[in-house]
Amino acid sequence: MNRKNISKKILHWYDNNKRFLPWRKKVSKKQKEYFTLVSEFMLQQTQVKTVIPYFINFTDKIPNLISLAKVNDNLLMKCWEGLGYYSRARNLKKTAINILKCYKGKLPNTIDELKSLPGIGDYTSRAIMAIAFNKKIIPLDGNVERILKRVFYLRKENEITKEYLNIKKNFFGTSNRSSDYAQAIMEIGALVCKPISPLCLQCPISKNCISFRKKDFEIKTKNKFNKIKYFEAKIYEENNKFLLIKNDKFNFLKNMPIFPMKEVKEKKYKFSNNKKINIKLSNMDMKIILNKVDKLPNLTNKILLEKNKTKSKILPSFTKKIFSSIHKIQ
C-alpha cells in the first residue's frame, strides 16, 4: 500500500470539499494557535455545528490570549452560556494565565507541556500539535476511529481499543501538510464516513476499504452504559422568586446556580406522583422529581431569582430545563 498516494487522495478531497469553519480562517501564526486552543476546548464533547456560533461570539468578545487571561468571569461565562460543561471555560482561562506566566505568552509546542495545562488531555494536546504546529500527528477522535474500523473491517473487542487503533492509523502515513492532513482525515469521517449511511462513492480511499468491498458498514463499538441516577429537586417560590443555590454537587457545574436537590432511591422516584423530568449527560442519565415545597429550606449560598429574569442571568441549561418545567407543577 502506497501511503503517499493515500495522503494525496485525502488532501485532494479536502482541498475541494472542506467546510468553512471560523477557526480555519487564514490568520497570523499566533492567532491560529489561539483559535486552535479555543476551538479544541469547545469541541470537547460538543458537535461542530453547535460550536460555530459560540466560537465566533467568544473570539469576537475575547480576541486573544491576553484578553482571555484577564477576562471578567461573568463575561467568560456569558460567552460560554448554553455550551455546557462549564469547567472547560474555567480551565481555558487558567490555561491562558499559565501560558502567560510560564511560557512567555507562547502556546507550548510539546505534548507533555500541553498536557500539563488545565483541561488539556491526550487527544486535545495531539490535536493542537497537529493543527496549530503542523506536527506529523493524527489525533484519534471518533471520526478517525470510524474510518479505521471500516477500512480494516475491525469487529473484535481487542481490535477496537485505543491502543490497537493507534497502531492501525499508520495506514494514513504522513504529509508535509500535517495540519491540513489531520483535519482532512477527521473531515472525511464527519462528512463522508458517517456513522449511518456512509457516502462511500464520494470517499477518496474507498478502494482501500474492506467494509466497502464487503458492503457491510456496521460499526463495532464498546459496550457503554450510562449510569441512571434519581434526584429530587426542591422548588420553592416566594413573591415570584425561585430558590437556587451555588452548586457544589456536580463538578461540571461548579458554583453555577442550580435548584436544591438530593439523590434518592429508584423506588421513591417510581412511586412519586410529582412532575418528573429527564436530563441526559455524557456519562449519566438524570431522572428528577420536581417537588414543590412551602417552607424555605435551610441552605447556604442561597439565591432568589425571578423566573422572568432567567434570560439575563448566566444559568446552565440544566437549570433552565427545570425552570421551563416549573409551570407544569404550579
- As annotated, the active-site residues are 40
Contact residues for 187 (Cβ-Cβ < 8 A; gap 6+): 14, 17, 18, 19, 143
Environment class of 98 (CB within 10 Å of its CB; exposed 0-12, middle 13-18, buried 19+): middle
Cα gap 199→229, rounded to integer Å: 38
**Phi-psi category of 120—alpha, beta or left, where left has phi over 0 and alpha has psi -120 to 50?**
beta
**Hey, what's the cell of 121?**
488531555
DSSP 53-97: HHHHHHHHHS-SHHHHHH--HHHHHHHHTTS--THHHHHHHHHHH
- Cell 481499543, residue located: 161
Q: How far, CA to CA in Å, does 201 sit from each of 2, 154, 205, 206?
A: 21, 21, 10, 7
**Hey, what's the cell of 213?**
468491498
Q: Which helix (H) or strand (E) holds 165?
A: helix 162-168
Cα gap 66→68, rounded to integer Å: 5
Write the DSSP symbol of residue 283: S
- The residues facing 303 across adjacent strands are 244
Question: 13: helix, coil or strand?
Answer: helix
Closest Cα to residue 182, out of 208, 149, 143, 219?
143
